Chain A
Amino acid sequence: SAVISQKPSRDICQRGTSLTIQCQVDSQVTMMFWYRQQPGQSLTLIATANQGSEATYESGFVIDKFPISRPNLTFSTLTVSNMSPEDSSIYLCSVGQGSDTQYFGPGTRLTVL
C-alpha cells in the first residue's frame, strides 16, 4: 500500500484563524479523500479531492469552510477556515486506487481554543 504523510501532525490554533493540512503520498493515486473524527465519534467523510477540478463535498460540509486543493496525483491540502472550538478534531486523508479499500494517513490532531 502507499505511504501517506500528513503535516502538521498536530496544532493548537486560535478561534477565527485558518489552518492548512497537507497530505503527501509516495505514489500516484486515483482517489484522495479527507475525513474528520470528532472526539468520541466515528470517522466522517468531508470530501473527495479531485485532481484538476473542484472537490466533491458530502452533506454538511461546504467549500467555504473546508477548501481543498489537489494539484496532482500525489498531493492534496485541506484548509479549515475561520475555526471555532467545534472544529477540534482529528483530520485524516486517505487514498484509494480504484478498489474500495482506502488507506489512511497518520492524521492531524487539531485543537481550537
Chain B
Amino acid sequence: DQQVKQNSPSLSVQEGRISILNCDYTNSMFDYFLWYKKYPAEGPTFLISISSIKDKNEDGRFTVFLNKSAKHLSLHIVPSQPGDSAVYFCAASGNSGYALNFGKGTSLLVTP
C-alpha cells in the first residue's frame, strides 16, 4: 500500500517560472519529510527536508511547505532552471524507525 503518493508523473515548466511539485501521504505517524532529486544513472540527491513541527522550510530557490491537516506537502522551485530537470521524489519517515517511504516520483522538465 503506497503511503506516499505523487500523483503527477510529470511536469513541464518554463525557465524562470515557479515549479510546484506535490506530495500526499496517508500515515499520520510520519513526522519527517524529505525531497530528493534524481538524475538518470545517479542515486537520489537530498534536496530539502521538513519536520512536522514546522510548516515551511526554505533553502535558496527551494521551499517545502507542509500542511499536516491535509497530509500534503509541496516543493516550490523558483526561479526554475534547465538544470533542475530531473525526477523528484518525496519521502517520509515516522518516529518508529528510520525507514523512508518514497513516492513514485515526478519528472520535471524545465524548458528554456
Which residue numbers of A lie inside 8 Å of B, CB to CB?
1, 4, 31, 33, 40-45, 48, 58, 92, 94, 96, 100-107, 109
Task: Say yes or no for B49: interface residue by CB 8 A criterion.
Answer: yes
- Give me 10 other A-B pairs in contact (C-beta within 8 A), A42-B4, A48-B99, A102-B34 excluded: A33-B98, A42-B105, A43-B89, A45-B100, A92-B43, A100-B34, A100-B49, A102-B46, A103-B46, A104-B44
**Which of B2, B42, B43, B93 is in CB contact (< 8 Å) with A42?**
B2
The contact size tier of chain B is 20 to 34
A107 near B99 with CB under 8 A, answer no
Q: How far is the CA of A36 from the CA of B93 in the complex (A)?
A: 17
Interface centre among B42, B43, B45, by most chain A C-beta atoms within 10 angstroms, is B43
B98 near A42 with CB under 8 A, answer no
- Chain B 5-36 interface 0/1 with A at a Cβ cutoff of 8 Å (1 = within): 00000000000000000000000000010101
